[in-house]
Structure 1
Amino acid sequence: MPSATEQKIIDAAVRLFASQGYDATSVQEIVNAAGITKGALYHYFRSKDDLLFEIYRLLITAQSADMDRIIGLGLPAAETVREILVSLVVSTAGRVDETAVFVREMPRLGEERMADFRAERRRYHETFLAVVEKGQAEDEFSSAVPADTVVRIALGVVNQLPVWYRPDGPKTPGQLAAEIADFVLAGLR
C-alpha cells in the first residue's frame, strides 16, 4: 500500500501520462502536479521508469489478489468465472487511466521489468485458464471452444477497455462487467 505522498506522486503521474504521454511529461511536471519536492519523488522512485512500473504493479497486484480471493471461495466454475470477470472489468474500468497509460507505455520498460510483467500476466492467464478447464472437464461448460481461446477472448476484451470505455459514458463499471461476464458465460454454455 503506497504512503499518502507516494500515492500523490502516482496520481499526478497517471493524470499527466494519460493526458500528454510519458515522453512529454517531465519529472518536474510530476513534482509540481503532486505538490511535492523533487527529493520526495526520488525518495520513492529512482526514475520516471520506476514510477511507470509502479503504476502497473499496483494494478496487477490488486487484480491478482482479487482473483486469488475469488478462487479461494471454492465456488462452481461458472460463478468463479463470473466473479473473476466482474472484478477484473470493474477494477480496469475504475482505473482506466492507469490501464491506458501502462498499455500505451509498456514498451518503455526494460527487459527485467518486461519479464516481471510477462510472468505476472502469464500467472493470471494460467490461473483463469485452470478455472475454465475445470468447468469444461466437469461438463459445467461446453468444450466446443478450447479453454485457452475463451480466456484469450475474455481477457482481450478487458485489455481493450482503455480504448473504448469512458467513465462518463452510459454504463457503470458494474453494468459493463455484468454484460461482459454474461457474454463469456453464454459462450461457455
Structure 2
Amino acid sequence: MKKEEKTQKTKERILAAALKEFGSKSYDAASINTICEAGQISKGLLYHNFKGKDELYLLCVKTCYDEMITALKAQPLEIKDAKEGLQSFLMIRQTFFHENPDYANIFFNTVLQPPKHLEAELAALRSGLEAYFRQCYLAVLNCLNLRDGVTREMALEYFLGASEMFNNYFQKKAEQSGDYRALIEAHEDKLSAIFDIMLYGVAKAPL
C-alpha cells in the first residue's frame, strides 16, 4: 500500500471514531482519548494527522452538513402548496435525523450547545446548509398571497429571525436540561407548529 493510501485510511479511521464520539456527546464531553481507543489509534498518530480536538470536531460538523445537504437534495421538493411543502421539507429533515442519529447529535449540538470559541468557523461551515434552507423557505413563500406591504424578502427575514429566536429558546433549555435526546425530539416536534404560526399567525382575521 502506498504511503498516501495508508495515510488516507488512517484519517478515515480517525474520522469514523470521531463521528461516533461527537455523535453521542457534546463537544465538551467528547474525548480525544476515547477517539483513540475506539479507532485503535495512538494519540501520536492522531496528532500527526490532525491538529487536535477542534480540527476533528469541525471536520465532523462539515461531514454532517455535507451529508445532510446531499440527503435533502436527493428528495424532490416540488412545493405547490405552502403548508404541504413545508411539512414535506420537515419530514425529509426528520427522516434524515432518525436514520442518522450520530449526525442528529452533531447537528443539534452546533445549534443548541456550540463551543463558543468555534462560533466563527461553525457559521462558515453552516453557510451552505443555510443557503439551501433559504431556498426552501422562499419556495414556500412563493405559494402564499402575502399581505399588502409585505415583500417576499421581508417575509423571509422574519421567517429566519423567528427561527433564530426559536433556537435561542432551546439553547437555554439545553443549558438546564439533562435529557438532551428528549430536547431534540421536542425541538423537532414543535418546529412544524412554530413554522405554521409564522406563516399564518395566531389569530383569526376579524369578520
Question: Do the two structures share a fold, i.e. TM-score over 0.5?
Answer: yes
With a CA cutoff of 8 Å and minimum separation of 6, indicate the structure with the bigger relative contact order.
Answer: 1
Residue 147 (1) aligns with residue 151 (2): no
List alignment gaps of at least 5 residues for structure 1. none
Q: 2:118 pairs with 108, 112, 124, which one? A: 108
Which of residues 170, 174, 181 in structure 1 aligns to 2:192?
Answer: 181
Give ranges in structure 2 of 5+ residues lacking alignment: 1-10, 201-207
Greater C-alpha radius of gyration: 2
- AA aligned to 1:107 is H
Matching residue's letter, 1:120: G
Cα deviation digits, residues 26-61 of structure 1 (max 9, x gap): x34431354332355357644322211122112222
Give the equivalent residue in structure 2 for 1:74.
78
Taking structure 2 as the reference length, the TM-score comes to: 0.59
Q: 1:104 to 1:124 in 2, by over 3 A?
A: same
1:10–1:55 CA contact under 8 A, matched in 2: yes
Q: CA deviation at 1:74?
A: 1.4
Match for 1:78: what amino acid? Answer: K
The aligned counterpart of 1:135 is 143
Does structure 2 retain, via aligned residues, the 8 Å contact 1:9–1:30?
yes
* Percent identity (aligned): 13
In structure 1, C-alpha distance between the alignment counterparts of 2:71 and 2:104, rounded to whole Å? 17
Structure-to-structure mapping, 1:1-189, within 5 angstroms: 3=12, 6-15=15-24, 17-18=26-27, 20=29, 25=31, 27-38=32-43, 41-42=46-47, 45-70=50-75, 72-76=76-80, 77-89=82-94, 91=96, 94=101, 95=103, 97-102=105-110, 103-105=113-115, 107-108=117-118, 113=121, 116-117=124-125, 119-136=127-144, 139=145, 146-154=155-163, 156-157=165-166, 161=170, 163=174, 166-167=180-181, 169=182, 173=185, 177=188, 179-189=190-200
CA deviations on 1:53-78 (whole Å, 9 max, x unpaired) are 122112222332344344x3313233
Which TM-score applies when normalising by structure 1? 0.63
